[in-house]
Amino acid sequence: MVFNSAILARFEKLVVEKNDEVTQAVVEQLVNQGFHGQLKAEIVQQLCRKFNLSSVELALGCISVAACYAITPVSAFNVGAVAIGKNGDFYFGANQEFSGECIQQSVHAEQSAISHAWLAGESLITDVVVNYTPCGHCRQFMNELNSSTSLKVHLPHSQNNLLQSYLPDSFGPKNLGIEKVLFDEQLQSFEVKGDKLEQAAIQAAASSYAPYSRAFSGVALQVGEHIICGKYMENAAFNPTFLPLQSALNYRLFLGLADIPVSRAVLAESQGTLSSKAITVSLVKSLLGLELEYISIQTA
């Protein structure tokens, strides 16, 4: 339990530093649920009533807790985020960096929280709460969401900011003729075959988001007895695209399973105009010490 022990040590340090009941209550809840970095709507409501807070005020109290999940061997700069779903669920996120890999493999906190929400089955994000002003990369990433015109961004020093106020005269999927965007329900039809892990990777690819390249892809990780999937999330500006391996690793982290070794990694990918195979092979090898299993998938 090396990584969860490190998170617990950060939690304990934060509780002492903040010295407030909200932080203590949030930390206790996360520890009780095995470091699973999500607060269900009913828990959020209970905490809001207990401390007489709005959901955004509570989320502002959670971002320093979310930052305890950060993995930052390069920058040592921890960012925490909370994405709020349409029914009030809180999805935690944190930035993650990978030593020895190119900087483009990094995960931003806002990407982390949003990918976490998507994999957990969320259909719409109403608010993103973060402890530092979103960088341009993340602003563009959030512009792909089906809630981009109404999405509010909240910071410790400034609340209720529409995403579009950070992106005047923005460029997004509508400029490229895309009507169904990120978090809209859409499913590709691929032939599902192979063992359980391979099937899971194909199914993740089928529900991934790749309207520009059509290179739909998904990753499935064997994590002890668990199968954890990640899905490709493309972006109109291309570079803010979120890769499926990062999506799966991030979900593993926020499910509280980071201490359970990964024994297999499968990437399923349709043949589009590009591929994330090479960059995925590299990170699977350097981070997990594994050979990537690759499946080229076909339409059913």
Which active-site residues does the annotation give?
110
Q: Are strands 125-130 and 152-155 parallel, antiparallel or unpaired?
A: parallel
Q: Which two tokens stand for residue 54?
A: 């709005």
Asked if 35 and 4 touch (Cβ cutoff 8 Å), the reply is yes
Spatial CA neighbour of 267 closest among 197, 188, 182:
197
Say if residue 135 carries a ligand binding annotation: yes
* Beta carbons within 8 Å of 88's beta carbon, 6+ residues apart: 41, 44, 45, 55
Say if residue 199 carries a ligand binding annotation: no
Furthest-apart CA atoms within the chain: distance in Å: 57
* Beta carbons within 8 Å of 22's beta carbon, 6+ residues apart: 47, 51, 53, 58, 61
Say if residue 226 carries a ligand binding annotation: no
The span from the CA of 77 to the CA of 88, in Å, is: 28
Say if residue 157 carries a ligand binding annotation: no
Asked if 120 and 229 touch (Cβ cutoff 8 Å), the reply is no
Binding residues for Zn(2+): 108, 135, 138
Known binding positions:
95-97, 108, 135, 138
Annotated binding site for substrate: 95-97
